[in-house]
Amino acid sequence: MNTLANDRLLRALAREPVDRTPVWIMRQAGRYLPEYRATRARAGSFLGLATNPEFACEVTLQPLARFPLDAAILFSDILMIPKAMGVGLRFEEGEGPRIERPVRSAVEIDALPVPDVGQALRFVMDAVALIRRELAGRVPLIGFAGSPWTVATYMIEGGSSRDFPKSKGLLYGDPGALHRLLGKLARATTDYLNAQVASGAQALMIFDTWGGILSPRAYCEFSLAYIKSVVGQLRRERDGARVPSIVFTKGGGPWLEQIAGIGADVVGLDWTVNLGAARSLVGDRVALQGNLDPNVLFAPPEVVRQQAIAVLDSFGPPKRADGTWDGHIFNLGHGISQHTPPEHVSALVEAVHQHSRTLRQA
């Protein structure tokens, strides 16, 4: 029941030999696909889509029908945990997320409940189970959550931000209150990810989109420490199969060694890091995921191909001189843009397939 027709992703995550580099794309289900926009129109809104297991399953599978990708990722959002905490989540057309009741003071933070996410976010667990059934073992399903720090920034700012003045104001002005908020989010996130595994998620990813805006000390204390706490409490096995975890801090390049040391199986990298350099620092401890600049996809297909090849070459042949393997999972360095031409994604996936095979023949 648990056998996969394509297990390249899980093998590469475990740094086992694979015939070619597995590839998936952050935000692979989304507005750049006309079929996604059509389903969203039927659902009425982004939240209508994400909170309905049938719709969520449908859009999760859309990119796989178009491109020969090596993984599916649950269609949901990192802001489902604040939604379950009752802060009021809305998505304004063209404006991104809005939190109706931001939390900015110790009093507001201490009044926040730690929700029973398995209950409050039942629709996510139902989506996971349905997607697993519909995938029927074609490729593995990745579950995910945001890092406590990244999710906290949305709750404090009330939405997206450029400079994070309120979050940093709290961090420096009342660090104890921020720690209590992060502690609550870490507990909810742990339960949430473990519930996804119980429902069928076969790998887990933590998106720390805003860890990279912190000073080195603040990053370790307010972001990485809580990611480590979550990772340390994750369920590692289901039905005898290991459930690997991927940690992605955008802008985390300077702290690669610390990130590689928290117990996750894989470190996700943005495009500011050279994969070969990252590999020689930590490649014998973790697999690496990344890291094509998503904006490369705005260039003509031939350029996309060349840039994909350059990313694969920067990692190099995955087999080491001593016969052991390092894992590389090809991905973008951040989520795909809604303005990306889908044909350029086809060129990318094809180039990764072709070139990564030749790397293993050398």
Residue ranges binding ligand CP3 (CB under 6 A):
26-31, 40, 46, 73, 75, 77-79, 91, 96-97, 144, 146, 160, 207, 209, 335
8 Å CB contact between 345 and 5? no
In the complex with ligand CP3, which residue's Cβ is closer, 346 or 354?
346
Contacts for 268 with CB less than 8 Å, ≥ 6 apart? 205, 246, 247, 248, 249, 288, 289, 290, 291, 331
- To ligand CP3, the closest distance from the beta carbon of 218 in angstroms equals 19
Residue 328 DSSP class:
E
Catalytic site residue from 8, 11, 40, 279:
40
Instruction: Mark whether 101 is an active-site residue.
Output: no
Q: Is 104 a catalytic site residue?
A: no
Q: To the nearest whole angstrom, how small is the minimum distance from the Cβ of residue 334 to ligand CP3?
A: 6
Output 91 or 320, the one with its CB closest to ligand CP3: 91
Fill in the DSSP letter of residue 103.
-
Other Cβ atoms closer than 10 A to 133: 10
Cβ 188 to ligand CP3 shortest distance, Å = 16
Catalytic choice (36, 154, 192, 219): 154
27 has catalytic annotation:
yes
Q: Which of 8, 11, 15, 27 is labelled catalytic? A: 27
**Cβ 159 to ligand CP3, closest distance in Å?**
8
Q: How many CA atoms lie within 13 A of 322 on its CB side?
A: 3
**List 15, 20, 36, 77, catalytic entry:** 77
Please confirm, yes or no, whether 36 is among the known catalytic residues: no
* Integer CA distances (angstroms), 144 to 134, 147, 197, 324, in order: 19, 10, 10, 29
Residue 301 CA to residue 236 CA, distance in Å, equals 39
**Could you tell me if 99 and 82 are in contact, meaning their C-beta atoms sit under 8 angstroms apart?**
yes
**Position of tokens 């994750």?**
234
**Closer to ligand CP3 by Cβ: residue 141 or 359:** 141
Nearest residue (CB) to ligand CP3, 46 versus 226: 46
Note if 279 is an active site residue.
Answer: no
Catalytic residue numbers? 27, 31, 40, 77, 154
